[in-house]
Amino acid sequence: MKRIVLMSCISAILSVAAAFPQGVRTVVSSVVSLSSEEPGGAVVSLRYNEAVAVLFPADPTFIQGVEFELRIPKAFQGAESSIAWSLYSGIAPTPTSGRFDYEARLISTQPLPQRVSMSLILPIIASHGIKGGPFASLIPAIAGLADFPLMFKLSPIGKGLLPAMESAEFKLTIRPVLRDEGGIRVSVTTIDGAEVQGVSVFIDDRMAENPGRLILARKGPRVVRVRAEGYREEIVTVPVEAGVVSPLSVTLTPNAPFIAFQAPAGTYVTIDGKVVEPGDMSGLSVEPGEHTLFFRIGDYSMTRKLMALRGKVYNVVLSVELDIVVTP
């Protein structure tokens, strides 16, 4: 009974110790910033009594965790238990290479495993989908914004290190663990230059709540449908990559037929007897049905009939050719 009580007390003391800041004296060899734009992360070097600091990502949208992959140098292989790794949160003040004393909260600590490398993953969001495995250990904690900067530290837990051990360098890769999704940023224009109101965007038939902002989507090909009243629906397939924002520019075409003109400068143009002003030559909408187009340039004139169908775009090109034939 006494033994059970004693073990319970020890566990409680360790939990309380990890919850409150403690003094940490170390050399910070590097300071790393996480970024989803660099999924491969950063590779830094540290020795048996040094540490590396990790700053919170400037844009954590696609990041769900931090991975620490440590490669153990040959000098320590076979003597891994002489070194312990420790992970701290809430480092204060902000880590720099010229400072040695910090306050920090211990997240976890263990001796190095008897392997040539080890990998730890620390989630930074509660709704993460990270799972541990034989090659990566999942730390049962969550480091939010208030818990950064983080610190990964090596410490000797035995005496009598060989000279080769004191000079040996560990290689530490710190990389973001990305969510299984990317983003789609949709920009909408119209072929007639009109301002569009009430645009709706659907990703795989699910309506986006705010189509004007970044839309999160699972990685893989996604079917995007863009619709607005008075315009033809546009359907585009977008390949979404994890941690990557895919821009999508969509040009909506009015449901009404749209006619654009290309003609030499000074050409007089009418539709059904109404003059087409120079500013409308780039395109204008008309009612569905038959229309009469009239062109005049100098003494030359031409009339054409056009059956305009709903949702169609017509490019009308007037060209004047001059042939010079030389005979012997």
Is residue 234 within 8 A of residue 225, CB to CB? The reply is yes
Is residue 108 within 8 A of residue 86, CB to CB? The reply is yes
The structure tokens listed for 255 are: 């449901």
Q: Are residues 29 and 125 in the same domain?
A: yes
Q: Are residues 248 and 274 in the same domain?
A: no
- Is residue 2 domain-resident? no
* Last residue in a domain, options 147, 178, 209: 178
CATH number at residue 235: 2.60.40.1120
CA distance 12 to 249: 57
Burial class (CB in 10 A: 0-12, 13-18, 19+), 242: middle
Q: Are residues 149 and 269 in the same domain?
A: no
Quote the number of domains for the chain: 3
Q: Are residues 53 and 174 in the same domain?
A: yes
pLDDT band at 19 (very low <50, low <70, confident <90, very high): low
* Last residue in a domain, options 146, 178, 210: 178
Out of 46-60, 74-88, 310-324, least confident range = 310-324
Burial class (CB in 10 A: 0-12, 13-18, 19+), 283: middle
- Is residue 93 domain-resident? yes
Is residue 118 within 8 A of residue 72, CB to CB? The reply is yes
pLDDT at residue 65 greater than cutoff 50: yes
pLDDT at residue 163 greater than cutoff 80: yes
Bigger pLDDT: 98 or 208?
Answer: 208
Q: Are residues 68 and 82 in the same domain?
A: yes
- Is residue 4 domain-resident? no
pLDDT at residue 9 greater than cutoff 60: no
- Is residue 207 domain-resident? yes
High-pLDDT (> 90) share of the chain, %: 68
pLDDT 10s digits, 209-249: 999 899 999 999 999 999 998 888 999 999 999 889 999 99
CA distance 276 to 191: 17
- Is residue 130 domain-resident? yes
Q: Are residues 172 and 291 in the same domain?
A: no
> Residue 311: which domain range?
258-317
* Last residue in a domain, options 226, 252, 278: 252
CA distance 93 to 86: 18
Q: Are residues 306 and 238 in the same domain?
A: no
User: What local confidence, expressed as pLDDT, does residue 4 receive?
Assistant: 39
Q: Are residues 50 and 173 in the same domain?
A: yes
Q: Are residues 27 and 124 in the same domain?
A: yes
pLDDT (mean) for 79-106: 94
pLDDT 10s digits, 120-138: 999 999 989 898 888 889 9
Q: Are residues 102 and 166 in the same domain?
A: yes
pLDDT (mean) for 20-26: 91
Q: Are residues 241 and 271 in the same domain?
A: no
Q: pLDDT averaged over the chain? A: 89
Q: Are residues 154 and 188 in the same domain?
A: no
pTM over 0.95: no
